[in-house]
Structure 1
Amino acid sequence: MLRLRHWMMTTALLLSVGVAGAAEVLLGPGDVVRIGIYGSPDMGVETRVSEAGTITFPLLGQVGVGGLAVAAAERKIANLLESGGFLKKPQVNMIITNLASQQVSVLGQVNRPGRYPVEGRRKVLDLLAMAGGIGVDGGDVVSLVRTRNGVAQRDTLDVVDMVRKGELTGDIDVAGGDVIYVERAPRAYIVGEVQRPGPFRLERAMTVQQALAAGGGLSPRGSLRGLRITRRDAGGHSSTIDASMSDTIEVDDVITVRESWF
């Protein structure tokens, strides 16, 4: 069931890449561009956009292109060449060979964490797909940390819920410099007389009965009588309560299965 859930999640994410829009990419520091002039091969150059947003171009020197789309940068260079008397109606062609300024970091429990370029309009699901989808230890909720107008903000997306319901309106556009982080899935613990004591992945609305199954079931000496849950409250204080098979497990709960005396 767990493998199927992650297979469905990754498939849905991969499909989402194909529907992303194709908005203009704006040039920024670190981007590498190749510029050619039709009929003037000697003026072709490959250059990097500086931190100040400029490139160095033959005859023109420093040209500000930071924040411009490729088409606008082409027109600017063409206008400067013509107004400077260097060429008449030049046809400028610019290609981005390395889009360094528009990258998003995808970190945490994904299959291929790293930095990924944002070419055109991209959303959180698109970037998760580029990173190979959420790993088997990843949680359902993803954090997006971004800075807009000098203000840092954090948004959370329940990506599994969105995909299950087919409601992708909650997906969020990303931009260069954003960070997507997938935390480890919440866990609980089972100890005592079970086949596989230790931590287990906490699924939604998981019951004590399902937790016992995650622990491999009772050991030959285990008993369903006297099940206990040790739980911490918001203040960090622990309490132990009697448990029934239908009780719902919470994050970091410790279930204790006692030994049968008969």
Structure 2
Amino acid sequence: MNRRNGITGTMAVLLACVLLGACATVEDAPRGEAAYAAIPPAPAVGMEYRIAPDDVLRIQVYHEPELSLEDAQVSAAGMIRMPWIGDVPVAGLTTSEASDVIAGRLGQRYLVSPQVTLFVKKAVNRRVTVDGEVREPGLYPFEGRILLSQAVAMAKGPTRLAGLDKVVVVRTMDGQRQAAMFDLSAIRKGEAADPEILPGDQVIVGLSRAKAILGGALLAIPALATGFIALDGGR
């Protein structure tokens, strides 16, 4: 039964590959200029960032220090508890939207034209997985923006025999896991640009380790693709 399901899944991938253009494995992930072209700008933690459960916020109400909070943690239900107004839903909102919601509630009964500013002190969903030939593989939180070399450094750097010329970055785009390959050795020498890493990315050092971790999945290469190669079914 499992074998039949596996065959059916493989045939589906092959059919999808035919429709999209071609099939390949992780060895054929775009590299060089094609890989760099696939890296879109990173969203900043600020106006465009959307608050998530467990994030830690700083909330300041102008001229109202008793209403201001230095370390307000968003609950699992997406709420923060504010003095006077109780639980306020903020998950999924930008900092500007959350500020408006809080100001609106305060203005309904307590303050005249309250001014509220909100800052994300710790964004817990900004994490990157670093795996493969690194000293301490794991899931690492980060703030602000980081580059590929910095992500590898968070895992205590590559091992002595790591394949630095084949570092795979896996990213979910439009519901599909996609991959691109970079030369960390060239990046360290200043011979290649250091690409930006986004929250949720998976960095795998070494092609052989990437093949093992990704399970040898077929890659569907869209005919018009210029960047990442899509991994089968987002597995």
Query: Identity rate of aligned residues, in percent?
Result: 33
**Counterparts of 1:102 and 1:129, CA distance in 2:** 16
Quick one: which of 133, 142, 149 aligns to 1:109?
Answer: 133
Partner residue, 1:178: 201
Task: Look up the equivalent residue of 1:121 and give its one-letter code.
Answer: R
Partner residue, 1:146: 171
**Counterparts of 1:73 and 1:98, CA distance in 2:** 16
Structure 2 unaligned residues grouped into runs of 5+? 1-40, 210-235
> Are 1:133 and 2:157 counterparts?
yes
Q: TM-score, normalised by structure 1?
A: 0.50
1:72 Cα offset (Å):
4.3
Q: TM-score, normalised by structure 2?
A: 0.55
1:22 Cα offset (Å):
9.1
Larger radius of gyration: 1
Q: Which has the higher contact order (CA 8 A, sep 6+)?
A: 2
**Counterparts of 2:93 and 2:162, CA distance in 1:** 38
Partner residue, 2:31: none
> Are 1:159 and 2:184 counterparts?
yes
User: Secondary structure at 1:129's aligned position in 2?
Assistant: helix
Q: What does residue range 54-69 of structure 1 map to in structure 2 within 5 Å?
A: 54-69=79-94
**Superposition RMSD on alpha carbons, in Å?**
3.3
1:31 Cα offset (Å):
0.9
Quick one: which of 95, 98, 110 aligns to 1:73?
Answer: 98
Quick one: which of 54, 57, 79 aligns to 1:30?
Answer: 54
**Counterparts of 2:88 and 2:146, CA distance in 1:** 29
The CA deviation string for residues 35-60 of structure 1, in whole angstroms up to 9 with x for no partner, is 23233333234433245544333344
**Counterparts of 1:22 and 1:152, CA distance in 2:** 18
1:61 Cα offset (Å):
4.0
**Counterparts of 1:137 and 1:176, CA distance in 2:** 27
User: Secondary structure at 1:24's aligned position in 2?
Assistant: coil
Number of aligned residue pairs: give it.
164
The CA deviation string for residues 71-117 of structure 1, in whole angstroms up to 9 with x for no partner, is 443344223322x1321232334343432111112223324443333
Preserved contact between residue 107 and residue 182 of structure 1 (Cα < 8 Å)? yes
